[in-house]
Amino acid sequence: MEKADFKIDTIGNYASFMKYKGETYGIPTDGNVHVQFMREDMMSDPDNMKRFEDKNGKPIAWPKTWEDDQQLMEFFNNPDGEVWGSANLRNRANGVTWWYMYFYSAGGFPFDDDMNPTLNTDAGNYAVETYLKVKDVSHPEAPGWGTPQMIPRIVGGNAFACQYWDGIIALAENPEKSKTVGKWRYGLVPGSTLSGKQIYRSVSSPLGALLINRHSPRKEQAAYWALWMGTLGNSAEIVSDRANTFHDPWHSGHMDSEVVREAYTPGGVDAVATNLQVASPPIYMTGYLEFQDALAKNLSEAYVGQISASDVLPRTEDDWNGIIRRTGKKRLQDDLASYKAVMPTVDEPT
């Protein structure tokens, strides 16, 4: 990167997602940030507007908080009409991704400086409560669904709202694959005031990046190729592909790129840029998969009623303490600075 004078040009703090202990380990191919999806056609319907204001004493508006989001999803939840309020995932593998947004926006962080878990706090309990409330507006089969089941429901018109990976914008706006072209509005995910101030936190997980094998006999050539693929021109072609929608915008130049704005719509691209400013990581340290799976297991069991909501965080902290002992507290304390460096630097996007 130094020889080529190459810099990872991203929105917000996203370039730090490629770093560990100050060193860059990959060239991004995929922003993969969560964006708020709302059915604009339903929100702007005059009858719906009147009914909502009569019921709630305020006009329909973009949700600032998770409570606003829940209220809107409950109002538009209509299982008899095959439209559910939420299309957020709630399966064990993916559902935890949403929990991060609730927790971080409530002012939470998973560990203190001594690597003691800090989940069983006001922020943690708020996140669990918010996570479980969405069950009231979700399809009953949601605990068993991943993206292969949920994405067709989003583009097929069977949901009112969700926070979802931004690549689905291009799919939702593809007239050959979507029944809801032009019906969605995209924007900033909701936030929380639990900490005493308004904080917004989206999430980017998992990541897509180009990595170079350190044992390759052609490391330098491979590295130059990775940098070349990370240039604005090449990366714009990758993220705007209408058939292969896995890779999503991340480069600051994508936000003005004509091909990207055509694929995602101008409003969709602006929403991506907004959420990248407050994009948060999963547990960005050694043991990430173990930490996340323990939390995911307890959240999913509470969602289906196998354990109580009050058991989620104490059980998870017990599980995490075991992971910390096995991994080594000193090693994890060394990782902690890298984790904190990936967190957003602003509470609200500009």
Which residue ranges form the domains of the chain, and what is each CATH number?
1-350 (3.40.190.10)
Element (H, E) at 129: helix 122-133
Q: Return the percentage of the chain with pLDDT > 70, whole number.
A: 100
Are 295 and 96 in contact by the 8 Å Cβ rule? The answer is: yes
pLDDT of residue 207: 86
Phi, psi of 194 (to 5 degrees): -60, -35
Rounded distance between C-alpha atoms, residue 63 and residue 38, angstroms: 10
Q: Which residues of the chain have pLDDT under 70?
A: none
pLDDT of residue 272: 97
Question: For residue 102, which of 67, 71, 78 has the smallest C-alpha distance?
Answer: 67
Residues 6+ positions from 216 with CB-CB distance below 8 Å: 222
**DSSP characters for 44-71?**
T-HHHHHHHHHHHSS-----SBHHHHHH
pLDDT of residue 92: 96
For 221-266, write each residue's pLDDT tens digit. 999 999 999 999 999 999 999 778 789 999 999 999 999 999 999 9
Q: Quick one: DSSP state of residue 114? A: T
pLDDT of residue 73: 98
Please confirm whether the linkage preceding 206 is cis (ω < 30° from 0).
Answer: yes
Average pLDDT, the chain: 96
For 59-74, write each residue's pLDDT tens digit. 999 999 999 999 999 9
